[in-house]
A and B are shown apart, each in its own frame.
Chain A
């Protein structure tokens, strides 16, 4: 079946630094990648949608200059949290779509100290 590999699974960074999260579709071409954010004991909130080779479309209220999304190929999308602050601490999950429907990564727990 379809697999999306998401790395790192957890990361701790200092306030003001940047963190890159990678999502790679291992056995299919991901035409669209969705990036979600999940706060503890809450639902998933869509941050942005990206299509290969195009600029990402951000949801209202999401700072595009802070959450940089790159979808340069059909198998790789990255989310970079720039100048991270403690309020950016959260669980980030990607979801790729292709021939197999929606496939989710395993998530990244980001803690900013």
Chain B
């Protein structure tokens, strides 16, 4: 079985501040972990993914995430928030890179204020 837990359904930061979105996973096998962003009434866009290579993964739009096995975490960070980062963010886990289903967390809505 696999699952992810996203702590904080809503996070608010000021423009220019650090963004930290938390994700903890549970998996019986080495996991593949993903972060997606969703804008209203749109599909999901991949920010980054961990596939057992480097533990620090750099993604698009300045986001990065670090895989910490000891903490079973895969938190998403961005040094400086931009207004355009306001969206819903989902952490997801799968057993394989592509063939198995993705299990999503409950999502975190990021609000960016002036």
Which residues of A does B touch, CB under 8 Å?
4, 6, 9-10, 31-32, 34, 41-44, 46, 49, 91, 93, 95, 97-98, 101-102, 104-107, 109
Interface centre among B36, B46, B97 (most CB of A within 10 A): B46
User: Of A43, A101, A104, A105, which one neighbours B97 at CB under 8 angstroms?
Assistant: A101
A8 CB to closest chain B CB, in angstroms?
12
Q: Write the nearest CB–CB distance from A11 to chain B, whole angstroms.
A: 13
Residue of B nearest to A96 (CB): B98
Within 8 Å by CB of B102, from A9, A102, A106, lies A102
Set of chain A residues within 8 Å of B41, measured between Cβ atoms: 9-10, 91, 107, 109
Having A10-B41, A95-B44, one finds 13 other A-B pairs with CB under 8 Å, namely A4-B43, A6-B43, A9-B41, A31-B99, A34-B101, A41-B107, A43-B90, A43-B105, A44-B90, A91-B41, A93-B44, A95-B102, A104-B36
B contact residues, total (Cβ < 8 Å): 21
Kindly identify, within residues 68 to 112 of chain B, every residue whose CB is under 8 Å from any CB belonging to chain A.
Answer: 90, 97-99, 101-107, 109
5 interchain pairs, CB-CB under 8 A = A4-B43, A34-B101, A43-B107, A91-B41, A95-B44
Q: Chain A: interface secondary structure?
A: strand
Contact A97 B105 (CB under 8 A): no
Which of A44, A91, A97: most chain B CB closer than 10 A?
A: A44
B99 and A93 within 8 A (CB): no
A46 CA to B36 CA, complexed, in Å: 16
Contact A106 B43 (CB under 8 A): yes
Residue with the highest number of chain B CB atoms closer than 10 Å, among A6, A93, A101: A101
Q: Is B35 an interface residue (CB 8 A)?
A: no
Question: Which residue of chain A lies nearest to B32 when distances are taken between CB atoms in the complex?
Answer: A101
